[in-house]
Structure 1
Amino acid sequence: MSERTILVWFRNDLRVHDNEILLEATRKADKILPVYVFDPHYFTVTPGGGYKTGSHRAKFLIESVADLRQNLQKLAGDLLIAHGNPAEVIPQLAAQYEINEVYHHREVALEETNISEEVEAALWKMKLNLKHFIGHTLYHKEDLPFPIKDIPDSFNTFKKKVERDSNVRPSLSAPQEIIIPTITDAGEIPTLEQLGLPQPVIDTRASYTFKGGETAAWQQLEKFFANYHLTHSGKNSRNSAASKLSPWLALGCVSPRQVYWEVVKHEHEIGNHPMMLELLWRDYFRFMFKKHSRQFFDPEGFKGSAPELADNQEELFEQWKNGTTGVPFVDASMHELNATGFIANANRQAVATYLVKDLKGDWTRGAQWFEEKLIDYSPASNWGNWAYIAGVGNDPRENRYFSPKSPTELDPKGEYAKLWLAEENVA
């Protein structure tokens, strides 16, 4: 009887723990072939002259893939690195390594699902199956108290129903050992230059740094709980309670379920824990994307009417993206975003609200700018939030958790603006 080999196609699930496709493949096959494909599509120059994936996010991705390879090697496995269109690369590898089936995690945004469909169609011609798994949400789709088509358009209703009627599944352990076929060429992890991107400049004004990978994700989790407990004992500032875990969640270096069970382990009360709200919002937008699909990328969203736009769009957008609007907090936030690839959620709401409501700018251009710049970019969260603020997504008036603070509330003494509007300080 011939050996069974499964190709595990990693995408935004760059971890070995709580990874269903990896664990299931080791159980169902004699050997597995872990693969990550650097798709040139994601590193192209956009029509506006920017990058589809900015340097900060690409650097984080490279670090995350490198850490995944190291963690697989600790389990006696490896990670094959390929470059090209997945619809061409995956079938080629399937033929070369005599693959019996391909596993991957299903995505929800249009671009990512199209790529999956192209790979599936190419494999089908070879009479091979692409098996889909669901592994990016806190609550499993099959455990929701309603079908996807009936998901409430109100976050409050969604939150109440899932917390009352659904349970979070246990996290899965990592495989004890990974047996791989003989890999003729495991491939090299690319540099930023090889991806056509410049090295990001390190700005010493930033009070934090991000390093990609599952290993760093768990270090960040430990740091968060230590700071959170200090904060709530009155020994630290409120800002330390922010998790800053979103970059690792976006690439799946840690799963929402793992974070949830860490909250359960560390806290007595979890219902209103800030981390729980963060995880629920992530779930909500992913499920809403499944429900409304491409409408989240349309200027009119799923409301049928786009917001009013000012005449001088180009001029206003240039001022906004470069942080030259004359509003100190907005400008400081954009300076920080452009310099580091990250700003706090309250800052994101403030600058997005200013672009859409005050400048009457095109919200889709703002979302595209965030897509390039944000180190924690995730299609559902990013485009869902922008549509929300623009009033063409879920109605913020129905959500008591959504109350964007004014620049005065966020920076009452002007210290933040003073820091980020000062002359750039490069290490």
Structure 2
Amino acid sequence: MLSSRGSKFLSSGSQLLASGSMQKSGASARPMHVMASKDGSGQKKGRQGTGTSVMWFRNDLRVSDNEALLRAWQTSSAVLPVYCLDPRVFSTTHVFQFPKTGELRAQFILESVADLRKNLQRRGLDLVIRVGHPEEIVPSLAEAVGAHTVFGHKETCSEETTVEGRLKGRLAKVNVPSEVPGKSVRHPQLDLVWGGTLYHIDDLPFSPNQLPDVYTQFRKACETNSRIRPACKMPHQMGPLPDSVEKIGGCGPLPTLADVGLTPREQSPSGVMHFAGGETAALARLQDYFWVKDKVRAYKETRNGMLGADYSTKFSPWLAHGCITPRTIGEELKKYEGERVANQSTYWVLFELLWRDYFRFLSIKYGNSIFHLGGPRNVKGKSWGQDKLLFEAWRDGKTGYPLIDANMKELAQTGFMSNRGRQIVCSFLVRDMGLDWRLGAEWFETCLLDYDPCSNYGNWTYGAGVGNDPREDRYFSIPKQAQTYDADGEYVAHWLPQLRHLPKTARHFPKDAYLRPIVPLRHGQAPRNQPNSGRQPAFRRN
């Protein structure tokens, strides 16, 4: 079995970073094939280029604050935006062979792609959509339109960087007419731009390989020594498309779930809110949460809630797919602080956004170890179970602990779970059930609308005690968590309506009125019911 993240996706020799040094005051390495922006904002004034460029969209499904798109426009006289729906993203997870992308996230992605096309059309462009492998499709399109450069955003995890490397190799074999005197042909270049973080990688006070292993140290160093770049200001009009669009078969229809073998399924109306994919919905949520409902002023006090639309920002699904950037949120927050109030709550939004940065930079430092059982520290000697009965009870929300079961049902039916809920169900799987943390991480990968590999596996390694942070035992006591965050049992009654008739004080430990707990709790008050003791065969390793 390959040591890399996904054997179906990766060649055995793939690595996170190409060989070669990274240049930046003391710093960090970027693969040799990436031509990175070196100015302060990534922007130039006006359109200065000629010829055709290709803009390759992946996890950056937006027009606003899109430096790769801006540079594609600046350096050409025509831009061909391209999105490839890659079937590998809809295959299976690496260890336990769960569906890699569930129906709800797949639908969110397709909605985001449809919205991106509309927003590009408003600016005089369109979106070429194809189903297949980007490293095959993009070079073919670049050759057909005679593109001098393919622009995109740099990713950090192995599956994505492997595609980047393959694409670069294929482009090197493509010949297009050259505009350089004395040269009849040239190869299209791959220009991958850093984006999607609050702090730009070139502005960190250390290289990613020297990233502190404790978040607080990272945060304080960034806040003291770095600055957040302004969001890119995009032109109102970015056309035209190349004249040769019809030559490549037009832009193509919007894909459907059937194109990747999935059946449509709607988010449950019982969820905290309906998450519609796309930049338009992301910006609407930003406006609603900050300005219309004015909820950000109390974010720090409400962020550990579990029920309702506005206990937290709910930006995460749009951030994960690049429908909005942390910088856009940061700039709106700065405006809010100037016009309304600056307090601990407004700061805490940035605090949480910086956690996303941290996990992304950690994926550069630690590479594929974030996907391995021992985690970044290569922890050994722990006993990790793979009991099928226990995992399925956790997955299906049938553990006998209402707080766990309610959270897992919310995840399955909506693709979302609160941050507090994620910590609780992670602790229960790892500490109380004694199961392999990768079972939980891969099931989250299947279900979450806001899945991205860096944050998901970063959080799971952290919660499982195998992360880069040396603190190992993070136990979340269910009785304590229930009393603190759902004292009246409203959350569990919402997702487990059979508990609604019980007294509020009995909803979390309903005894004979609910399922028998499947395992005893490691700490805290245990229910009177005795746990089941039956076991099923462990998951087969691949």
TM-score, normalised to structure 1, is 0.92
State the SS of the aligned residue for 1:332: helix
Counterpart in the other structure of 2:242? 181
The separation in 1 between residues aligned to 2:232 and 2:464, in whole angstroms, is 39
The code of the aligned residue for 2:242 comes to P
Per-residue Cα deviation, 1:202-223 (whole angstroms, up to 9, x for no partner): 4232231000111111110012
- Structure 1 position 264 matched with structure 2 position 329: no
Counterpart in the other structure of 2:367? 293
TM superposition shift of 1:99: 1.1
Q: Whose helix proportion is higher, 1 or 2? A: 1
State the SS of the aligned residue for 1:75: coil
**Cα distance change of structure 1 residues 311 and 70 upon mapping to structure 2, 3 Å threshold:** closer
The separation in 1 between residues aligned to 2:236 and 2:385, in whole angstroms, is 61
Is the CA contact 2:112–2:278 (under 8 Å) kept in the aligned structure 1?
A: yes
State the SS of the aligned residue for 2:172: helix
State the SS of the aligned residue for 1:189: coil
**Cα distance change of structure 1 residues 30 and 244 upon mapping to structure 2, 3 Å threshold:** same
TM-score, normalised to structure 2, is 0.73
Counterpart in the other structure of 2:22? none
Q: Report the count of equivalent residues.
A: 420
What root-mean-square deviation, in Å, do the aligned CA atoms of Structure 1 and Structure 2 show?
2.5
**1:277-426 matched pairs, under 5 angstroms:** 277-306=351-380, 308-309=382-383, 311=385, 313-395=387-469, 397=471, 406-422=481-497
The code of the aligned residue for 1:222 comes to Q
**Cα distance change of structure 1 residues 160 and 41 upon mapping to structure 2, 3 Å threshold:** same
Per-residue Cα deviation, 1:351-385 (whole angstroms, up to 9, x for no partner): 01110111111111111100010001011000000
TM superposition shift of 1:409: 1.9
- Structure 1 position 31 matched with structure 2 position 101: no
**Cα distance change of structure 1 residues 346 and 112 upon mapping to structure 2, 3 Å threshold:** same
TM superposition shift of 1:247: 0.6
**1:70-89 matched pairs, under 5 angstroms:** 70-89=118-137
Per-residue Cα deviation, 1:291-310 (whole angstroms, up to 9, x for no partner): 11101000001222257345
Bigger RCO (CA 8 Å, 6+ sep): 1
Is the CA contact 2:129–2:253 (under 8 Å) kept in the aligned structure 1?
A: yes
**After the TM superposition, which of the residue ranges 160-169 and 300-309 deviates more from structure 2?**
300-309
In structure 2, runs of 5+ residues without a counterpart are: 1-48, 175-186, 499-542
TM superposition shift of 1:312: 5.6
The code of the aligned residue for 1:187 comes to G
Counterpart in the other structure of 1:163? 223
**1:218-257 matched pairs, under 5 angstroms:** 218-226=283-291, 229-230=294-295, 232=297, 239=305, 240-257=310-327
Q: Determine what percentage of the aligned residue pairs are the same residue.
A: 42
**1:64-143 matched pairs, under 5 angstroms:** 64-126=112-174, 127-143=187-203
Counterpart in the other structure of 1:154? 214
The code of the aligned residue for 1:300 comes to G
The code of the aligned residue for 1:420 comes to W
The separation in 2 between residues aligned to 1:27 and 1:271, in whole angstroms, is 40
Is the CA contact 1:330–1:407 (under 8 Å) kept in the aligned structure 2?
A: no
Per-residue Cα deviation, 1:183-230 (whole angstroms, up to 9, x for no partner): 121011111122211211442322310001111111100121147635
TM superposition shift of 1:81: 0.4
The separation in 1 between residues aligned to 2:63 and 2:402, in whole angstroms, is 43
**After the TM superposition, which of the residue ranges 309-318 and 340-349 deviates more from structure 2?**
309-318
The code of the aligned residue for 1:23 comes to L
TM superposition shift of 1:244: 0.3
Is the CA contact 1:154–1:399 (under 8 Å) kept in the aligned structure 2?
A: no
The separation in 2 between residues aligned to 1:305 and 1:223, in whole angstroms, is 44
